[in-house]
Every structure is written in structure tokens, then in C-alpha cells.
A and B are shown apart, each in its own frame.
Chain A
Amino acid sequence: MSAAHEPIEETSGPKIVAEHTSSAGKVVRSVQVMRPTAADSTFLVASAQGFAVTLKHFAKNLFLPLRKKAARAQPGAPGDLSWINEIETVQYPEEKVTYPERFRGLHRLMLREDGAVRCVACMCCPTACPAHCITIIPEESDSKGIEKRPAVFEIDELRCVVCGLCVEACPCDAIRMDTGIHAGPVEDRGDAVETKESMMNRGIKSIAKQGGAGPNWREIK
């Protein structure tokens, strides 16, 4: 190995090899300056090593077949990887990676048995929201035993930071982010605001106990 591959601290600055005090009382330090060797200054050896690496990758990726689509889309795919190339690219529109279970997509508003919105406009989610992207205007609710409901429930997806705190804050299982849908492209900023209706369209009936049932509410059947 040449000097260029030695530990960083040796090449990062002059190395003090001796230190003594001169007759004038000054401290004299002898330093060893790391200069490239003659072999290194031609760059030939290092270049050849570099070519070996890139050529290996190039040849492997050129001549060996692509990993199967499904296998390429999932990290840690099983199978013998020695005969395929190392290209990791996912051809997006045709292939999609499988998202993890807890992926946070577009919001949705859950529904009650009668199809009404579960949200009781308790204002927990806009309070928790760090981006202040949730707007709720409450109104009187007709349902028995429920005080309020949202007249307006809007989330500005352009401001949303997809942190999921609104879901965590909700005591009613009224808002979820488990749709797996990306926020779509819009031509107007106003189009990026999700309304109560659009989020309810994605909603399903929740059987969670109104008012919350502890940390394991998702598993209650």
C-alpha cells in the first residue's frame, strides 16, 4: 500500500518528528511533510486499481441479467445473487416497491356505523400538528351523546409533514394515514387541500370504541 492509503492523521498535516528548544529559547519543531511518493505522483497504480473496480461493476452489470423484478423491489430478497448483476434501479411506473406496513400516506376520515364522520371536532389533531395544516370548524352534532362534529375538516397536504402526530393524537380513531396513497400532483395550490368529503370518501367504518380504548385499540375486534 502506498502512502495515500495510510491513516488519515498521518496525511492530514505535518507530522512532528522532533522538538527541542534552541539556544535562543525558541521551540524548534522538526516536521515530516507527507509528500506523495514517486509512484503515487504518476497516479498509475492508483488509477489501475480504480479501473479494476469500475470495470468489474461495468462488466457484471453489462453481461449478467437483471435481478427479477419482484426480488429487486424488495430489500433482502432471497435467492442466489451471484449470477445476477448489481443494478438496484426500480423501474418505477412498471414496478413498485412494497411499502412497509406503517407507511404514512394520504389522510382519511373514518366513518361510524351510520356513515357519519367519527370525528367529534375535539381539536386534538390541529393542536398536535406541528405544521398547522389541519383546519377544523366545529358545529353542533345531531347525534345523540355526541356534542360536536366538524363542519369543515381540511388538511393542506402541501404543508403536511407526514409526521402522523394527528393520528396519534386522535382519541376516536377518526383520522388515519394508512391509505398507502401518495399526495398526488396538483396544478393549483388549492387543489392540494384535502376536504372533509374527499377524506371521508377514502374512509371505512371503524369499529373502534368511540372515545378511545387504550393503546391497543387497533387490535380490538
Chain B
Amino acid sequence: MRTSLVARIAVVLCFLVACGGGGDPASVKAVDCGANGDKLPALNVGETGFGRTALVVHPGDLVKVTTGDVAVQPGHRDADQTIAAPALAVAAGIKCFAFGATGEYGVHTASGFDATVYVRSSLSQTIFGILDFAAIKWVFLVLILVMPLASLLTWAERRQSAMMQDRLGPNRANIGPIKLKGILHFVADALKMIFKEDFIPANVHKGLFALAPLIAIAPVLIAFCIIPFGPTVYPHMVTHVMPTTPDAAQLADSIRMQIFSIDFGLLFYFAVLTLANYGGLIAGWASYNKWALLGGMRSSSQMMSYEVAMGLSLVGVFLICGTLEPGAIVLHGASETMSAANPLNWLWLWQPVGLVLFFTAAIAETKRAPFDIPEGEPEIIGYFVEYSGMRWGIFFLAEFIEVVFIAAVVTTVFFGGWQVPFLEPDGFHGFGGMLHLPHGVVAALQFGAFGLKVVLLCWFQLMVRWTLPRFRADQLMNLGWKVLLPTALGWIMFTALIKLIFMA
């Protein structure tokens, strides 16, 4: 691959399924440059504009454009249409930018493809490309949104429990006269834990003792990658109303508010969050303390019992949506005929049993009351009894991040994710009229809606934690194996039957 002297060379390899009504082959410029390196005619579009040409490319073709970066827009957005696989493109030394929020990549072997190639300024692509980079989004989501929210939950939990018990709760932490109802307590707590003695008892396995908190917190931070925390933002449309059928140039750049859009999204969550189990078990085992070990055992037995029900409780959702990808669940909802922005299309209405089952099992997974027999803060000794200072704080923080994560998952799966009721890409629809809103406002509203739903569900989890008394170990196992599991299985059968009868 040759490099240009004046501009970056980006090459797009696009595979597009020719599934009915592709472009007119005569009107496009067919280039077969894979074998002999023929050049596409140079497109001269200036620094910021968009130029376009159309061509048919074949598997293995190389399309080279010298004026800037290149994007490819499929001719149609059918369900099985795919955009070039980035992995393949990268392997060939080619950069590929995918449009839209479909996020479905695949390699197809049909003989002919048509596509429109847009050429645009490399500067804007670079900025938006960086913003669309997974690590940037992870920093934004986890470090800027989730960590502060989880930290604030430590304060919110104590304030809320106080309110529920006719107390005031912590309200005195202040910076000078700034009290903010004691919201700064989380800063004080963090400082306290950082400066506390990091005590390591004799005879512990030092390596595993140090590793356990990290094992507990890392999977939770990773699992956030599947959460679609906002709509796909198209930077060129921020000040404009999104048309019904947007031009590809208008969608030339996109920032998808989801770190990884993977087909097995929710399975990824189950798989990754299970690893957090090892954190508790290793913490108990490495502590050289019988009670800590027993706590770790209780933790793993509880996690194992409830993971079964948790996974099965979402199978009904998979059956209805036909996908495990959270972004797709948000976009489609239960019915394809209704708008995804209609609250009646969200799955809380269609999967109420799944919702209750999943929420119960998920709370059990966070190891908080009423399922807190692994640790049992005041009475029974838990797996992190030997931990102090920030090591203990990390366990604590992991618990709260998990609370946020559970709220995010329930929001995404059951409550429409970032969808605002009746807010379509071009504005509010409903009650016989509509209100046009620019794309930026729509995106901001949807982003805020996701945050609001997550905060409300976090609040509800705190309600649960401070309302219900702790289960006994036998009650816990009874609930998990004799109530949740059979109900989940029955609900799968019921959903499948309904789908077979009415939706087949």
C-alpha cells in the first residue's frame, strides 16, 4: 500500500450484500483494483465538503482515495445488510468507517456489491473518530459518569436510609460554608479510606490478597462496555432537525454511545460479571481466616445459584427481540410495528415476570440486602473481614458500581434505554401533532433520559436494600432454586408459546 505525500490515505474495503434493489450497475464506476492497483479517479472536494462517487466493489478489492478519509454508506438499511468488517479492513492495512448505529458487521461473499463512497475532510474525521474510539468512551462513561455516581450512592444510601427511618443522615461534610446537604461526604469517605492504614494480617497470601479487590471491581467496569448509554450522535446534524431519510453526507460522522456493540452483548455481561465472583472467593480464601473463607463460600454459592435464574430470566427478552445486543433491544423494543420510543413498546410491559425475576436475581448478584449473607455487615463475618483502608473501599465501590450497572441493564433491557417517550429522531410525536427538535437537543434529551432512569432504578435498589430484612441462607436457596428458577423456565415456555402463536 503506497502512501500519499500530501494527505493521509485511507482506503475502504466495503462488502455489501446485494439484497434487492442495489444501485444501477451502469451508473456506478466499477473498479476492480484489488489485483493490479488501479486508481479510482481522484475526487476533489476541498477540505470540508463532501464529494461522492459510486462504485461496485468486490471482495478483496482495494479502493484508494487520496484526498481524505473515506466512508461507505450502504445503499439500503435492511436487516441483513452489513458494512465491511473492520477487523478485515484493518488486517489489510485499510481504515474503514461504518455509518449508522446498526453495528452489524460481517463478511459476505456475494459476488457484487454497490456502495457510495463519500470523501470528506480528514480533520473532522479525526476529531470525531477519536471521540468514537472505545477507550475514550469508556473513560467518559465509567470514569466520568459511573464512578462519581457510584461514589455519590455511598452518600445517597445513608441519606436515603435516614429519610426512611425518620433521621437526617450525614449532612455536615462541608468546604467552608458549602454544605450541599452533606453531598461532600463521599469525598471525605474517600480521603479517609485512602489515608487509613493498609493492614495486611500475618499469614495471608499476599499476592491474592492484593489481587482480590481488583478481581472484584474489574469485571464490573468492563461490563459497562455493552451498555448503550445514549443515541448515536451525528455531529454534522447537531443543529439541524434530522430528516426522515438522512443523506449519507449528513450521517458521515457518527459517535455511537456504546462502547462495544457486540452480538452477544448480554451474554458478555453474564460471562464477565461472573468473574467478579472470584474476587469474593479469593478474598475469603487468601485472608487466612476461617470466617472470611466461609463468607467467600457463601458468596460463591449465592452467585452461582442466582446466575442461573438471572440468565434464564432474560431468555424471554431474547425470544421477543431476537437479539442479545442491548443497542438493538433499545432500538426495536417488543414490537416492530410500534415506535421504539413508545413506552408501551418497552419490555417492562411485555416481560413483567422477566423483569421481576431479573431484578431479584440481579440484586442478589450485587450481594446487598436482602441478599447480603455473604458479608452481613453488622452481624455475620464476610469475606472481606481482613481488609482495611482502600482495599476494603474497592470492594465497597465495586458493590455500588454493580448497583449502577444493574440499573443500567434493567433500564436498557426493560425500560427503553435512552429512549424518551414519544421522542423520535426528528422530535416529539404524539397526540396528533409533532414538535421538531434539532438532533442535538434530541440527543441531549435521550442522554438525560438514560441517566434519569438509571438514577431512579438505583434509588429503587436502595429502597429494597433498606426495606427488606435479610434472607436466611435456606430461604435464599429456596427462593433461588425453587421459586426463581422454575418461574423463569415457565416464563420462557410461556413466551415461546405466545411468540409461536402470535408473532410467528
Residues of A at the B interface (CB closer than 8 Å) are: 41-44, 47, 50-51, 53-55, 57-58, 61-62, 85-89, 91
- Identify which of A53, A61, A62 gathers the most chain B CB atoms within 10 Å of its CB: A61
Q: How large is the interface on B (under 10, 10 to 19, 20 to 34, 35 or more residues)?
A: 10 to 19
Q: Given contacts A41-B478, A89-B168, is CB(A62)–CB(B163) below 8 Å? A: yes
Complex Cα distance A44/B356, Å? 10
Q: Which 4 A-B pairs have the closest CB atoms?
A: A89-B168, A61-B163, A54-B467, A86-B166
B61 smallest CB distance to A (angstroms) = 60
Complex Cα distance A87/B166, Å? 4
Since A58-B164, A61-B164, A85-B166 are in contact, a sample of 15 more A-B pairs with Cβ atoms closer than 8 Å, ordered by chain A residue number, is A41-B482, A44-B356, A47-B467, A50-B468, A53-B467, A54-B164, A54-B466, A57-B165, A57-B166, A58-B160, A61-B163, A62-B163, A88-B166, A89-B167, A91-B168
Task: Determine if B479 is an interface residue (Cβ-Cβ < 8 Å).
Answer: yes
Q: Which of A43, A55, A88, A89 contacts B463 (CB 8 A)?
A: A55
Task: Determine if B483 is an interface residue (Cβ-Cβ < 8 Å).
Answer: yes
A41 smallest CB distance to B (angstroms) = 6
Q: Given contacts A42-B483, A86-B166, is CB(A58)–CB(B463) below 8 Å? A: yes
Complex Cα distance A55/B165, Å? 10
B457 smallest CB distance to A (angstroms) = 14
A57 touches B164 (CB 8 A): yes
Closest to B466 in A: A54
Closest to A42 in B: B483
B311 smallest CB distance to A (angstroms) = 20
Complex Cα distance A89/B170, Å? 11
A43 touches B479 (CB 8 A): yes
**Chain A positions within 8 Å of B467 at CB level:** 47, 50-51, 53-54
**Chain B positions within 8 Å of A86 at CB level:** 166
B168 touches A58 (CB 8 A): no
Closest to B168 in A: A89
**Chain A positions within 8 Å of B482 at CB level:** 41
B166 touches A61 (CB 8 A): yes
Q: Given contacts A41-B478, A42-B483, A43-B479, is CB(A57)–CB(B163) below 8 Å? A: yes
User: Could you write out 11 A-B pairs with CB less than 8 Å apart?
Assistant: A41-B479, A41-B483, A50-B467, A54-B467, A58-B164, A61-B166, A62-B163, A86-B166, A87-B167, A88-B166, A91-B168
**Chain A positions within 8 Å of B167 at CB level:** 87-89
B487 smallest CB distance to A (angstroms) = 8
Complex Cα distance A44/B479, Å? 12
B352 smallest CB distance to A (angstroms) = 12
B400 smallest CB distance to A (angstroms) = 19
